[in-house]
Structure 1
């Protein structure tokens, strides 16, 4: 599996058969200065209907778009959406958020979208085993650093990839990734936007993989 960090909460994920998934495509407006997403995809997932996560029309390739909870199989990939919220008030402040779990190449990848609260037991059970967790760490609009680390402990993934953090291409009032990395063990800064992983070569202990946004301006 190839995981390419495009920027913000957008990733390009490609399986061994070349099926391409893009998560939460952003629109490069209103404080987002990442370059436009000029990628094709077979599948696009949208965690919630905010412009920085739902710019489906900017993705090429006529993809299948998945926006809600439930389980479905697309191009041989099982995708499960679990309902959560964008805030700590049951959605009253920022609405709903869908966590997506992908079964890809024998691994389970979880994209938490703009999760705004810690997960309850039912949500943890519905998410199930997680090998790779893509998690927001910037706070303000999402869980903060402390909550993100608690969510990681509750899901117990082998690989953690932080997202939705402050960069020079983003004007949002959120924290940078360094706040999350303080006190964190086994951090790998790859110096690139791409990370490859195979089922038989997964780390024995949890690793935090820091990727550079490919679309930085």
Structure 2
């Protein structure tokens, strides 16, 4: 499995047999230019959308993909996908609405994209999400969980690989924290371009991989 970070909360995940999944594609220039990442031009077979905000729900994606939204389990092009409903805030969705967490089974590994999760998780929530090998987790705060809450979520979900997302960069002008707040005092492996992982190569202990945005 290969994972490429476009930016914000959007990744291209490619399975060994070539199925291409794009998560939470952004609309370039949305929110009055707050999102400055380049347009996603890559083709996809599947697109997951955690919630209907413009920095997560672009539909102009090449390749005639199947769009996956909301809670429920389905098999799309051989990829088992489970959506679990949570919230974009700490007030049960009253501020920013619902947020779907997707657990995708790819090449024998469970990849979980937390979308814009806005609150901590309970042990019951962890059971709903299920096994996690690779976790794509927001860390910037304000609109999502922050670095400290992300650490708590990671401790509960116990992934083998953690990939942070949804943090401030030169191309994201939102009032959220940069990546330094999250990686401070942590051992981090930095990756340029694509990150490739196989089930047999998953680390024993939770490891953080920082992927540089490619857009």
Superposed displacement of residue 122, structure 1? 2.2
TM-score by length of 2: 0.97
Superposed displacement of residue 52, structure 1? 0.2
Number of aligned positions between the proteins: 212
Distance 2:59 2:150 in 1: 27
Deviations 1:178-209 (A, max 9, x none): 10011223x1012x131000001111111100
Q: Does 1:46 align with 2:49?
A: yes
Distance 1:208 1:86 in 2: 24
- Unaligned segments of structure 2, at least 5 residues: none
Q: CA RMSD in A?
A: 0.7
Distance 1:189 1:202 in 2: 16
* Pairing of 1:1-217 with structure 2 (within 5 A): 1-29=1-29, 30=32, 31-57=34-60, 59-185=61-187, 187-190=188-191, 192-215=192-215
Query: Is the 1:6–1:193 Cα contact (8 Å) retained in structure 2?
Result: no
Deviations 1:23-46 (A, max 9, x none): 000001131110000111000000
TM-score by length of 1: 0.96
Deviations 1:86-126 (A, max 9, x none): 00000000000000000000100000000000012222101
- Unaligned segments of structure 1, at least 5 residues: none
Distance 2:39 2:66 in 1: 20
Superposed displacement of residue 138, structure 1? 0.4
Superposed displacement of residue 177, structure 1? 0.7
Other structure's SS at 1:56 match: coil
Query: Is the 1:140–1:173 Cα contact (8 Å) retained in structure 2?
Result: yes
Distance 2:186 2:111 in 1: 21
